[in-house]
Structure formats: C-alpha cells, structure tokens
C-alpha cells in the first residue's frame, strides 16, 4: 500500500469529485476546488455558504463517513446547461447494519463563478436536523421531454397505469433507500400505488439523451415540500429503463 498523500488537485467536475473526496479524506484539495464562492446544502449537515463554514461542513461529513467505513461507487454523471449531476452509492455501516445508500450531487453553476452543491440522500433518522429549505433562484418552469413529462404527470396525479406503462418490461424504480422495484414482478406497480399522488415542481434538469436528471421540489403525505432528484434512464425501446429517486 502506498504512503503517498492524497493528490493536491481533484480532476473532473465538482459534482463528480465531491463525494469521493469526502470518502478519501482529500479535504484540502476539495476545499481548494470549492473556493470562496461555493455553497453546500446537505440534508443532514445543513447549509454552508462561506469558506470557513464549508470547510467545517465537509470535515464533519468526511469524519462521519470514515467512522462508518464508507466506500463509494459511481453510477452515472449527467451534464446540463447550468447543472451537473453525479449519482452513486455509498456502502457503509449505519445503525449497526450494512447499507448501500444512493446519493446524488447537483452542482449549479451561477454568475460570477459562484457554484452551489446540493446533496441528496435519505438522511439517518433521529439526527435532530431541521427541515430542508426550498431550492432558491428558480421559477419552476423548466421544460421536460415528452416521456419525462408523462412520468412526472403520472406521479402528480397518482396515475399508476400510465406510470407503469412508461417503463420497459424489465424496467424498475430504485427508491431513496436503494430498494429496487421491478415491473415484471409487479413491485413497480405496487410502489406507485403506495406512493399515490405527489406534488412535483421541476426546478432544473441535466439531460444527455440517455439519462434525464431532474431537480425538483416534492410534497407528499401532508409533509412540506422538500428538494429531491428524479433520474430517468431511457431504454433502447423509447420507454424508461430505470427511475432513480433521491429524496430525504
């Protein structure tokens, strides 16, 4: 095993390198990449918008990952006009059990070289955290492709038939806890039935033609609206192959 220190620079888009840097403990390099114009919004550790507060936040997150023996596996990256999205899975010990937790990072590029990182995962219950605030600086009028609009509208109305019909026969939904709900065995339909109608406001998107990653505000079950990411992977048939949900 090499005793070399972590690299002093992180190569790649900030959305892609953020979680790996935390897991690897490359905090100095990550701090340099963030600079003094970054904001971080994390569902467990809150919001930080100055260099000092960002350094404090990433230090606490990295230490928590280290204590839980976290390992990160990249799943997919999508780049849009103003948003980059990176999706992955963190394997770690949580509450005495080994879990694989889906995680997404959305990096929004703003004027004057400002950037905001919004992190999405199902936070551990009982952390005493305050509810997450809304996504700011958007009018929620982001247009979406026809297939994506069909699925989002089905979620809004609780239309299980249309929602399920939008997936390939081997399609599936991966929920915020990493549970997989396949169409072929009926679990996808059951998941949509249990979800019912939810309010979905789309604030931004990144779409590379294969995957459309939507940043949204979702309200469900009488709970206040909260930020979430819906990542829709298209199949070769023109239907959806997979819907990945990142929601606290």
Say which CATH number the domain at 20 has: 3.10.450.50
Evaluate whether residue 94 is within a structural domain. yes
CB-based contact 43:119 (threshold 8 Å): yes
Cα-trace Rg, the chain: 18
Last residue within a domain, chosen from 120, 135, 166:
120
Q: Are residues 44 and 110 both part of a single domain?
A: yes
Evaluate whether residue 32 is within a structural domain. yes
Evaluate whether residue 188 is within a structural domain. yes
Evaluate whether residue 2 is within a structural domain. no
Per-residue confidence at 144, pLDDT binned at 50, 70, 90?
Answer: confident
Q: Are residues 116 and 156 both part of a single domain?
A: no
Evaluate whether residue 137 is within a structural domain. no
Over range 6-26, report the average pLDDT: 88
- Is 1's pLDDT higher than 70? no
Q: Are residues 152 and 243 both part of a single domain?
A: yes
Q: Are residues 200 and 166 both part of a single domain?
A: yes
Q: Are residues 178 and 226 both part of a single domain?
A: yes
What whole-number percentage of the chain has pLDDT above 70?
92
Which range in 4-18, 123-137, 140-154, 158-172 is most confidently predicted, on average pLDDT? Answer: 158-172
pLDDT of residue 68: 95
Averaged pLDDT score across all residues of the chain: 91
Q: Are residues 165 and 224 both part of a single domain?
A: yes
Last residue within a domain, chosen from 81, 103, 120:
120
Q: Are residues 46 and 116 both part of a single domain?
A: yes
Q: Are residues 239 and 161 both part of a single domain?
A: yes
How many domains, the chain? 2
Evaluate whether residue 216 is within a structural domain. yes
Q: Are residues 167 and 107 both part of a single domain?
A: no
Evaluate whether residue 57 is within a structural domain. yes
pLDDT of residue 223: 84
pLDDT of residue 143: 76
Question: Rounded to an integer, what distance in angstroms lies between the CA atom of residue 85 and that of residue 137?
Answer: 18
Longest distance between any two alpha carbons in the chain, whole Å: 56
Q: Are residues 19 and 111 both part of a single domain?
A: yes
Determine the structural domain holding residue 33 and report its residue range. 14-120
Evaluate whether residue 130 is within a structural domain. no
Q: What angle do CA 102, 162, 89 make, to 5 degrees?
A: 5
Tokens of 243: 């819907």
Which range in 61-75, 101-115, 217-231 is most confidently predicted, on average pLDDT? Answer: 61-75
- Is 212's pLDDT higher than 80? yes
Beta bridge partners of 234: 240
Q: Are residues 110 and 153 both part of a single domain?
A: no
């Amino acid at each position: 095993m090499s005793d070399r220190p972590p690299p002093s620079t992180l190569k790649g888009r900030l959305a892609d390198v953020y979680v790996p840097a935390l897991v690897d403990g490359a905090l100095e390099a990550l701090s340099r990449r963030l600079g003094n114009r970054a904001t971080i919004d994390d569902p467990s550790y809150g919001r930080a918008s100055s260099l000092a507060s960002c350094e404090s936040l990433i230090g606490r997150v990295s230490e928590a990952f280290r204590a839980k023996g976290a390992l990160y596996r990249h799943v997919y990256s999508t780049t849009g006009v103003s948003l980059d999205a990176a999706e992955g899975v963190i394997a770690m010990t949580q509450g005495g059990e080994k879990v694989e937790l889906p995680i997404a990072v959305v990096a929004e590029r703003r004027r004057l070289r400002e950037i905001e990182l919004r992190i999405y995962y199902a936070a551990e219950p009982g952390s005493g955290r305050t509810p997450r605030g809304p996504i700011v600086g958007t009018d929620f009028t982001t247009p979406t492709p026809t297939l994506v609009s069909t699925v989002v509208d089905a979620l809004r109305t609780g239309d299980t038939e249309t929602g399920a019909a939008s997936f390939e026969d081997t399609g599936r939904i991966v929920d915020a806890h990493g549970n997989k709900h396949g169409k072929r065995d009926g679990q996808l339909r059951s998941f949509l039935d249990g979800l019912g109608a939810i309010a979905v406001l789309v604030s931004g998107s990144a779409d590379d033609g294969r995957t459309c990653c939507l940043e949204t505000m979702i309200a469900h079950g009488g709970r206040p609206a909260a930020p979430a990411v819906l990542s829709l992977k298209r199949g070769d048939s023109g239907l959806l192959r997979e819907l990945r949900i990142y929601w606290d």
